[in-house]
Amino acid sequence: MNLTELAALVGALAWAPPIFTAVRSWLTKPALRVITQPSPEVGYTTFGPILNLRLALTVKHRDIVITGVKLRLTHESGEETVFSWRGITQRLGQFNAPQVGTVPFEKELNVLAMKVSEKDIEERFIRFQSLTFLERKTDLDSIATKKLFWHRQNDTFSAEDFLRNQEMTEIYEFIKQSFSWKPGGYRLKFLIESPDAFELTGDEYTFSLTPMHVQDLSSNLSLIDKSYKNEVLPPPETDADRAERNIVWKWVYPEMLEEK
């Protein structure tokens, strides 16, 4: 081997570590899979359109940290809504209580990040809300809250008057006019964020809402004003008042199928 050939060999070997690193990284890239319950929980409240899912995430090759979970929901008409995670409940186990039976033991987690481990499959209940709705409602809530503080600081607050003022009326109308659930088919796609590259499967699903589903959800619109009334007025003192101010939101649970 002459000097030229030796130099070429040394140069080629210099590239070996980066190549091996790249191959190793590709072979050990986390393979993430989404496993969901067969029926999502679909609702509409003062928080706007809501879609809750009980799901589990599994990963192969190595652990991964999830920094965001969103859902892109597309109606058959083409209308698209992006939902973002707003809360997570993790099931830790269950215990048997006398006269009650089996009771799940769960805890609330933050939504800043979530670690998915190779060793454990953990079931989580994740609450999703519409990003567009929340951004606009946050602005309206801020205006109403400033008005509330102003009245309290000036000792001019009247709960009944406040609930009827322009700022609160705009909130009621915005929520009612933002009702977006429609009969027909929906396609759901998970949008998962992580600082690490990963492969994702089990991320596309379909479900349909019937006219009866939408009718049940739209009946919640009549409870919007009452919900804010419960927040602003003093707590009810009698059983009759508590019963009159009680709110039961309606939810629907359509069957959801994975797209293969």
- CA 211 – CA 201 distance, rounded (Å): 31
- 44 membership: H or E segment, kind and range: strand 41-45
The answer, yes or no, to whether residue 214 has pLDDT greater than 60, is yes
Question: Would residue 141 count as lying in a domain?
Answer: no
Question: Higher-confidence residue: 112 or 135?
Answer: 135
In a domain, 50, yes or no: yes
Burial class (CB in 10 A: 0-12, 13-18, 19+), 64: buried
Residue 151 lies in a domain: no
Count how many Cα atoms sit within 13 Å of the Cα of residue 213 in the half-sphere of its side chain. 18
Long-range contacts of 237-245 (CB under 8 A, 24+ apart): none
Structural domain contains residue 71: yes
Confirm if 32 and 57 have CB atoms less than 8 A apart: yes
DSSP 222: G
Distance between CA atoms of residues 51 and 72, nearest Å: 11
At 94, the pLDDT band (50, 70, 90 cuts) reads low
pLDDT over 90 for what percent of the chain?
62
How many H helices and E strands in the chain?
Answer: 8, 14
Distance, CA of 84 to CA of 50 (rounded, Å): 10
Name the residue range of residue 66's domain: 29-129+181-233+244-258
Q: Give tens-digit pLDDT for 243-254.
A: 888 999 999 999
Q: Is 91 exposed, middle or buried (0-12, 13-18, 19+ CB in 10 A)?
A: middle
Reported as a single tens digit per residue, the pLDDT across 40-66 is 999 999 999 999 999 999 999 999 999
Instruction: Identify whether 20 is part of a domain.
Output: no
Percent with pLDDT over 70 in the chain? 81
> Could you identify the residue written with the tokens 């039976």?
101
Q: How confident is the model over 153-206, as pLDDT tens digits?
A: 988 888 899 999 999 999 999 999 999 999 999 999 999 999 999 999 999 999
- Average the pLDDT over 147-152 and give the result: 89
Q: Is residue 6 part of a domain?
A: no
Give yes or no for residue 228 having a pLDDT over 70.
Answer: yes
**Does residue 227 belong to any structural domain of this protein?**
yes
Indicate the SS3 state at residue 254. Answer: coil
Q: Which amino acid is at 132?
A: T
Q: Is residue 216 part of a domain?
A: yes
- Closest CA relative to residue 32, chosen from 71, 3, 53, 61: 61
Q: Which residues of 134-143 are buried (b: 16+ CB within 10 A; e: fewer)?
A: beebeebeee
Tally of domains within the chain: 1
Give the best-scoring range by mean pLDDT among 27-31, 50-54, 148-152: 50-54
In Å, what is the CA distance from 177 to each residue of 51, 117, 172?
A: 18, 42, 9
Q: How many CB atoms lie within 10 A of CB 126?
A: 23
